Amino acid sequence: MKLPIHHISISEANGPGSRIVVWVQGCQLKCKKCFNPMTHPFTKDNIMDTDEIIEIINNAKHINGVSFSGGEPLEYPTAIIDILKRMKVGLNSILFSGYTLEEVMKSPLKSDVVRKADLSILGRYNDSLPHPYAGKKFVLTTDAIDLNYFKKSINVEYQINGNEITKTGIFKL
């Protein structure tokens, strides 16, 4: 199964612990002041097979889980479900999506992703709010993720990918 990818990296600022982050390519939601506009075009410059992504995830050492970000992971629900189903036991999963819970519930495939991820953080980014996750819905389906991380953490990372530098994490409290 194919998935357009911006990049895949290790992060300690996109959920608790050390995580693989799958940054997908493509988003049509146009949140004002989005922190990651280079992931918006639906380009097919870097298409990966989910078999390859699973291999990276399941062979990674010392990680706690996987986060899906972008771009908009819910543009590719079938591929994300495929990855979630095949991740090795013990890894937790977080979905970051700009779609609202109401929008997700209208789509059987998008809602299936939310049901399978341990935590989904849903809703458009709103730059005028005091915290990047203010106004978003947190949907927990298991107790694998401690939500206190999102209340206390002030983690910032600069992700360097070729000529691009992206500021990521929780940096506004």
Question: Can you give the binding site for ligand SF4, defined by CB under 6 A?
Answer: 27, 29-31, 34, 36, 39, 70-72, 98, 124-125
- Smallest distance from ligand SF4 to CB 89, Å: 29
Residue pair 107/77 in contact (Cβ under 8 Å)? The answer is yes
Q: Closest separation between CB of residue 40 and ligand SF4, Å?
A: 6
In angstroms, what is the minimal distance from the CB of 43 to ligand SF4? 14
Specify the residue, 43 or 58, whose C-beta has the smaller distance to ligand SF4.
Answer: 43
Nearest residue to ligand SF4 on Cβ basis: 98
- Closer to ligand SF4 at the Cβ: 4 or 71? 71
Nearer to ligand SF4, 65 or 123 (CB): 123
Q: Which is nearer to ligand SF4, 37 or 85 (CB)?
A: 37
3-state secondary structure of 77: helix
- Alpha carbon distance 113, 77 (integer Å): 6
Q: How far is CA 146 from CA 30, 129, 153, in A?
A: 29, 23, 12
Closer residue to ligand SF4 (CB): 36 or 111: 36
| Residue 14 beta carbon to ligand SF4: minimum distance, rounded to whole angstroms | 13
Q: For CA atoms 45, 96, 164, 127, give the dihedral sign.
A: positive
* Cis check: omega of the bond before 162, within 30 degrees of 0: no
Inter-residue contact 20 to 56 (CB < 8 Å): yes
Question: What whole-number distance in Å separates Cα of residue 27 and Cα of residue 66?
Answer: 20
Closest to 109 (Cα-Cα) out of 119, 99, 121: 99
How near is the Cβ of 84 to ligand SF4 at its closest, in Å? Answer: 19
